């Protein structure tokens, strides 16, 4: 009951409601714009969240995440271009259905299934919270070390990029995390006498550079792209027949999405593809898939939005991001002085349930905005890249500079922007760099702390049950892609 009241807190705070409204609208706009999406948008707005209190900041980022994930479906249906990678599977049936003159029906189903999937996953999140809270005191430094190793090995099986490339990118992230004053010895590392570097490379310049600037450079190569839009009169709520046809698919995909979201380093893109293929497998009319199947839309959309809540579980409970956007949210938590982990569930339940409540409300809000405003949001795709991306560049520079009034941060952002552009060009995902940067510090620090605490006894890593469990999971995560390849 107490937790329910804590969840409802955002409803009673005009400030949080305003943040939620803004976040949902902003997320929808970002989701609609191909190339932007909640990850880039979250990275862009991250510096500006510093003016907010931690709860408002994270509520803003999570509402952008929820609404942005749904927003991708609008362009997927109307212009056959997924606004976000997670909406790629929605194109397969959404656009064909729109071409048949049923764009309103397709968007209606996408809106309803996204909302159901999103709400379902928040319920899962609430269910997991008390269990994780009990684990808080079981996590000492050896457990955190094993957990960080597990998070890094999960990169081998992440959806985007090859396992080897992901691990190389993560290793690079870890290398960057060693820049700055070593907190164990107080010695500066790789700072070359620059005092500003002694606090390490800031997360925000790296995140903004890797996501926003590299995407801008990528988009600059696509200036010739012209989108053809299917006409939309109004979004229609699904008919009784459509509900009858899809309710099992929606529930199944919600479960699949929540589960895949929980897996560290997976996310909405993988969830929607699996949700879609499972919908096809269980369908009575699999031949309709790819030609405008309403079940196909429901399967993909329920799954990708369910992954949002699921992905927040490892992010909040373990400090391991469940997706690219949650990597940005994790950065937000860290810069606001919130240390994710089991302790968070014990120490700040009001903060956590506030986030859960906000996610629930964001799902309802994007349903309303999506239902009544899809037609307007669809027009956003007409903003030419030549206007949109220079604006984003200006916001990136201002945002990064304003944090510490440091021009060095701007240079770091630009460096990582160019680096991210080339990484993408050569088939590397930029997400592992962020995860490496975040977890690198944890891996190094907890290993050394554990050895100091236990007098250099390495056997400690093989005598604590949680540590051993994570090591076994890490081993499975490493060999899983190899086994999959052999098959």
Cα–Cα nearest to 94, from 374, 309, 367: 374
Least distance in angstroms from the C-beta of 123 to another protein: 28
DSSP 3-state of 123: helix
Least distance in angstroms from the C-beta of 140 to another protein: 5
Q: Do residues 209 and 331 lie in contact, with contact meaning Cβ atoms separated by under 8 Å?
A: no
In the complex with another protein, which residue's Cβ is closer, 281 or 386? 386
Helix (H) or strand (E) holding 188: strand 188-189
In the complex with another protein, which residue's Cβ is closer, 173 or 268? 173
In the complex with another protein, which residue's Cβ is closer, 257 or 445? 445
Q: Is 337 exposed, middle or buried (0-12, 13-18, 19+ CB in 10 A)?
A: exposed
Inter-CA distances, 17 with 8, 10, 55, 125, 293, Å: 11, 6, 12, 21, 36
Least distance in angstroms from the C-beta of 484 to another protein: 36
Least distance in angstroms from the C-beta of 105 to another protein: 25
Helix, strand, coil share (%) of the chain residues, nearest 5: 80, 0, 20
Cα–Cα nearest to 265, from 152, 138, 179, 181: 152
- How far apart are the C-alpha atoms of 145 and 165, rounded to whole Å? 23
Least distance in angstroms from the C-beta of 374 to another protein: 14
Least distance in angstroms from the C-beta of 48 to another protein: 6
Q: Which two tokens stand for residue 28?
A: 């929808």
In the complex with another protein, which residue's Cβ is closer, 165 or 229? 229
In the complex with another protein, which residue's Cβ is closer, 382 or 459? 382
- How far apart are the C-alpha atoms of 415 and 34, rounded to whole Å? 24
DSSP 3-state of 464: coil
Helix (H) or strand (E) holding 157: none
In the complex with another protein, which residue's Cβ is closer, 44 or 302? 44
Q: Do residues 50 and 335 lie in contact, with contact meaning Cβ atoms separated by under 8 Å?
A: yes
Q: Which two tokens stand for residue 294?
A: 């309403």
- How far apart are the C-alpha atoms of 380 and 106, rounded to whole Å? 19
Least distance in angstroms from the C-beta of 187 to another protein: 9
- Per the DSSP assignment, residues forming a β-bridge with 181 are 188
Least distance in angstroms from the C-beta of 438 to another protein: 13
Phi then psi dihedrals of residue 279, to 5 deg: -60, -40
Least distance in angstroms from the C-beta of 357 to another protein: 22
Least distance in angstroms from the C-beta of 403 to another protein: 8
In the complex with another protein, which residue's Cβ is closer, 8 or 383? 383
- Residues of this chain that bind another protein (CB under 8 A): 48, 50-51, 54, 136-141, 144, 181, 183-186, 194-199, 335-337, 339, 343, 347, 376, 379-380, 382-383, 387, 391, 394-395, 398-399, 402-406, 441, 445, 449, 452-453
In the complex with another protein, which residue's Cβ is closer, 290 or 390? 390
Q: Do residues 297 and 108 lie in contact, with contact meaning Cβ atoms separated by under 8 Å?
A: no
- How far apart are the C-alpha atoms of 110 and 457, rounded to whole Å? 55
In the complex with another protein, which residue's Cβ is closer, 181 or 248? 181
């Amino acid at each position: 009951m107490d937790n329910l009241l804590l969840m409802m807190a955002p409803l009673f705070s005009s400030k949080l409601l305003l943040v939620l409204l803004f976040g949902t609208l902003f997320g929808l706009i970002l989701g609609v714009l191909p190339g932007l999406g909640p990850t880039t948008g979250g990275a862009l707005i991250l510096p500006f969240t510093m003016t907010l209190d931690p709860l408002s900041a994270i509520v803003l980022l999570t509402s952008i995440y929820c609404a942005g994930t749904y927003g991708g479906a609008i362009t997927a249906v109307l212009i056959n271009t997924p606004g976000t990678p997670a909406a790629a599977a929605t194109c397969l049936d959404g656009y064909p259905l729109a071409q048949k003159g049923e764009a309103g029906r397709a968007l209606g189903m996408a809106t309803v299934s996204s909302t159901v999937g999103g709400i379902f996953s928040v319920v899962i999140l609430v269910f997991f919270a008390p269990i994780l809270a009990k684990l808080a005191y079981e996590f000492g430094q050896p457990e955190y070390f094993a957990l960080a190793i597990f998070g890094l090995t999960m990169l081998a099986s992440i959806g985007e990029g090859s396992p080897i490339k992901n691990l190389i990118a993560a290793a690079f992230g870890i290398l960057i995390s060693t820049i700055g004053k070593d907190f164990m010895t107080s010695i500066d590392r790789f700072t070359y006498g620059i005092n500003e570097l002694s606090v390490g490379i800031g997360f925000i310049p790296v995140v903004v550079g890797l996501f926003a600037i590299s995407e801008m450079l990528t988009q600059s190569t696509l200036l010739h792209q012209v989108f053809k839009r299917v006409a939309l009169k109004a979004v229609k709520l699904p008919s009784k027949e459509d509900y009858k046809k899809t309710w099992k698919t929606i529930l199944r995909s919600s479960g699949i999405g929540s589960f895949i979201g929980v897996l560290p380093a997976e996310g909405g893109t993988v969830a929607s593809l699996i949700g879609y293929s499972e919908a096809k497998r269980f369908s009575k009319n699999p031949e309709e898939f790819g030609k405008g199947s309403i079940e196909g839309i429901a399967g993909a959309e329920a799954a990708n939005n369910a992954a949002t809540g699921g992905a927040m579980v490892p992010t909040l409970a373990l400090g391991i991001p469940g997706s690219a956007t949650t990597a940005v949210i994790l950065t937000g938590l860290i810069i606001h002085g919130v240390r994710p982990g089991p302790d968070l569930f014990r120490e700040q339940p009001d903060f956590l349930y506030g986030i859960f409540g906000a996610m629930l409300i964001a799902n309802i809000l994007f349903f309303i905005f999506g239902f009544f405003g899809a037609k307007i949001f669809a027009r956003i795709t007409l903003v030419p890249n030549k206007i949109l991306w220079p604006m984003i560049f200006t916001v990136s520079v201002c945002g990064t500079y304003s944090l510490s009034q440091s021009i060095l941060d701007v240079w770091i952002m630009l460096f990582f922007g160019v680096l991210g552009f080339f990484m993408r060009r050569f088939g590397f995902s930029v997400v592992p760099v962020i995860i490496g940067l975040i977890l690198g510090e944890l891996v190094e620090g907890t290993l050394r702390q554990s050895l100091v605490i236990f007098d250099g006894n390495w056997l400690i890593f093989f005598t604590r049950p949680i540590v051993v469990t994570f090591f076994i999971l890490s081993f499975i995560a490493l060999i899983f892609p190899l086994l999959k390849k052999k098959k």
